[in-house]
């Protein structure tokens, strides 16, 4: 059976993101290798991954992005982040009776009149009080890599957590 996963803000090849977001890596090579390994340990080739923006930051971005994508399992659907030049602005999906808007920045004008849950990235783990992993009050889910332990998270898990109705700051708090 095909599973659905979500992830955002990998920032492959971006050295400053390690310091900015306090990532537990000593350098870009270690970060890239760990992100690829974690992704492929979770996602199978037949699975769908909604990538919610900010894949890579480097010179020769298009070429490097293609090279990276060849290393990652799954059918990847891109939602454009503020550092990307490709992908959809947002997508709305329905799953297990829930409506989800998949978008990079939850503060976008596209989200204003949306009545379902918003799954996003953009804020990393920098504002966990306002943008935790699961926020039932705001009906938002933050899938930035720092919040979901640097690997894609399944939509099935997200639905289970929504149904519990509790705030979850990061996936490590489960």
Q: What are the sequence ranges of the domains in the chain?
A: 4-173
The whole-number average pLDDT for the span 102-126 is 96
The whole-number average pLDDT for the span 146-174 is 98
Which of 135-166 are b and which e, b meaning 16 or more Cβ less than 10 Å from the residue's Cβ? Answer: bbeebbbbbbbbbbebbbbebeebeebbeeee
**Is 63's pLDDT higher than 80?**
no
Residue 60 pLDDT: 60
**Is 61's pLDDT higher than 70?**
no
- CA distances 158 to 79, 111, 124, 133, 153, Å, are 19, 19, 17, 9, 8
pTM of the model: 0.96
Residue 64 pLDDT: 82
The highest-level CATH class for domain 4-173 is alpha beta
d(CA 25, CA 27): 6
- CA distances 53 to 26, 58, 71, 121, 122, Å, are 23, 15, 18, 7, 8
Percent of the chain with pLDDT over 70: 97
Q: Which residues fall within 8 angstroms of residue 60, CB to CB, at 6 or more apart?
A: none
Structure tokens at 99: 């409506």
- By C-alpha distance, which of 61, 58, 14 is closest to 35? 14
Cα angle 54, 57, 60 (rounded to 5 degrees) comes to 125
What strands, in cross-sheet order, belong to the sheet with 90-95? 90-95, 98-103, 117-120, 140-142, 134-135
The whole-number average pLDDT for the span 53-77 is 85
């Amino acid at each position: 059976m095909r599973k659905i996963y979500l992830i955002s803000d990998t920032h492959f090849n971006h050295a400053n993101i390690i310091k900015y977001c306090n990532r537990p890596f000593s350098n870009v090579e270690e970060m890239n290798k760990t992100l690829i390994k974690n992704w492929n340990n979770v996602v199978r080739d037949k699975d769908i991954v909604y990538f919610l923006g900010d894949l890579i930051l480097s010179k020769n971005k298009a070429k490097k992005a293609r090279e990276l994508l060849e290393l990652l399992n799954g059918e990847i659907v891109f939602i454009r982040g503020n550092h990307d030049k490709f992908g959809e602005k947002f997508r709305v999906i329905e799953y297990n009776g829930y409506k989800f808007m998949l978008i990079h920045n939850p503060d976008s004008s596209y989200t204003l009149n949306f009545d379902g849950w918003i799954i996003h990235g953009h804020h990393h783990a920098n504002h966990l009080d306002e943008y935790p992993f699961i926020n039932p009050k705001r009906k938002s889910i933050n899938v930035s890599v720092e919040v979901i332990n640097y690997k894609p998270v399944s939509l099935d898990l997200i639905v289970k957590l929504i149904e519990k109705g509790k705030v979850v700051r990061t996936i490590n708090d489960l």
